[in-house]
Amino acid sequence: MKLKTIAVASTLVLVASAGAGWLALDKETRGFLAAFPTNRDVLFWKESQRDAAFRAMDRLPVLAKHRVVAAGGTPSALPPGPPLQLALDVDAYMQGQRNAALVVLHKGQVRLERYGLDFDAAGRWTSFSVAKSLTATLVGAAVRQGHIGSMDDKVSQYVQELKGSAYDDVTLRQLLTMTSGVQWNEDYSDPNSDVARFNNHKPEAGMDATVSYLRQLPRAAPAGTRWLYSTGETNLVGILLARAVQKPLADYLSETIWKPVGMEQQATWILNKTGQEISGCCIQAATRDMARFGQFILGGALVNGQPVLPDGWLQDATTKRVGINQPGSGYGYQWWTFDDGTYMARGIFGQGIFIDPQRQLVIASNANWAGGARDAVAAPARAAFYRAVQQAVDQEAQGANRS
């Protein structure tokens, strides 16, 4: 009992050092306070620490710097539909995934909504790499608005500090498709990988932390010839984008998508050491609002009937631009694509937005997979769940046609 008391007291001291962070914690989140991690090594937190942190990443003393993505006053409707009749046990699926939230939209109606891990619709869960797809969408908006001249502009045109580096001749299109050819290691289990070391990098004086790390990396292949997943490069896209639009990404996301699309809750976006939104990660948002984002994309990225993205952008973004050495799969502009026309935003530990245009389906989910960042059991189980939802919708349609 004494050890537990000491642990809680120590955590309270850490939270107090973050100023008003403790006051911002809701009643539910305060119940997880004792498990809050006290280091930035997200990939190596224990399961209990992840359970606590993923619902409050913007309020952790070690990660508390963030900007608010303001919502508007009137949320867009998510009307209830008839309960989806699935040929599987949803509760067992939720437990196996360690799902915090699951929202299934069909034709804009909520057909299934469940919560777990003591999370609920009022909470905000971290996105991890689901944020990549939002960042790419903002790039498209910036191109349409004229802030970015072309997808084939050189990165160093916008980020001057990269001149002379391996990124000097890399284009924005190559960044979005992760074909820069620059060396990078995204092994989540390796503490010496780039994705792990990146968090602890000490930036050069007066330079953004992302730029400081990436500009030292060597070239491994000619630009445009090889696909390699790199969170660092999406973070670089965010630097380029913020400079192009001349405002923080949180503000640009708010005015371009969050407010006009009608998100229900404000979101937050975690900042790096030098005050830039971590654009490859870490948007804290309600799961219903992530479902709304999926519905916005499914509907053609329109606001009041007007396109947010350039003509043809969404088609290019959500279909295979490059192969990833997985049969039936590919990569677009920060979207994972499938040859059957479906696509998804995907984040480690089980975060996702799956979109099926043919069936008018959006499935948003948040989780803390027991098997870690890339769970070899949970990932295929999630894919099987997507197929079960598709089959249920198809059977409904067949039944309607027969009647």
Query: What is the C-alpha radius of gyration for the chain, rounded to an integer number of angstroms?
Result: 21
Q: Kindly state whether residue 19 falls inside one of the protein's structural domains.
A: yes
Q: In this structure, what token pair is assigned to residue 235?
A: 């973070």
Buried b (16+ CB within 10 A) or exposed e, 311-327: eebbebbbbbbbeeeee
Listed in order, strand segments (DSSP E) in 179-276 are 267-270
Q: Kindly state whether residue 364 falls inside one of the protein's structural domains.
A: no
Q: Kindly state whether residue 16 falls inside one of the protein's structural domains.
A: yes
Question: What is the per-residue pLDDT for 372?
Answer: 94
Q: Kindly state whether residue 188 falls inside one of the protein's structural domains.
A: no
Contacts of 46 (CB under 8 A, 6+ apart): 37
State the residue for tokens 């349409």.
144
Q: In this structure, what token pair is assigned to residue 265?
A: 């809750």
Residues spanned by the domain of 20: 2-65
Q: What are the residue ranges in the chain where pLDDT is below 70?
A: 1-31, 403
Give CA–CA dist 65/271, Å, rounded: 6
> What's the Cα-to-Cα distance from 278 to each of 25, 169, 275, 305, rounded to whole Å?
22, 23, 9, 31
**Total domains in the fold of the chain:** 1
| DSSP bridge pairs for 343 | 337, 355
Question: What is the per-residue pLDDT for 16?
Answer: 34
Which residue, 96, 74, 58, is CA-closest to 261?
Answer: 74
Question: What is the per-residue pLDDT for 195?
Answer: 84
Question: What is the per-residue pLDDT for 28?
Answer: 53
Question: What is the per-residue pLDDT for 29?
Answer: 65
* 218, 402 contact by CB (below 8 A): no
Question: What is the per-residue pLDDT for 259?
Answer: 98
Q: Kindly state whether residue 134 falls inside one of the protein's structural domains.
A: no
Contacts of 15 (CB under 8 A, 6+ apart): 21, 22, 25, 33, 36, 61
Listed in order, strand segments (DSSP E) in 213-325 are 267-270, 283-285, 302-303, 306-307, 322-323
Q: Kindly state whether residue 51 falls inside one of the protein's structural domains.
A: yes
Residue pLDDT, tens place only, 16-56 = 333 344 444 555 566 677 788 888 888 889 999 999 999 99
Count of other CB atoms within 10 angstroms of residue 221: 14
Question: What is the per-residue pLDDT for 181?
Answer: 97
Burial class (CB in 10 A: 0-12, 13-18, 19+), 169: middle
Q: Kindly state whether residue 356 falls inside one of the protein's structural domains.
A: no
Q: Kindly state whether residue 10 falls inside one of the protein's structural domains.
A: yes
Residue pLDDT, tens place only, 105-155 = 999 999 999 999 999 999 999 999 999 999 999 999 999 999 999 999 999
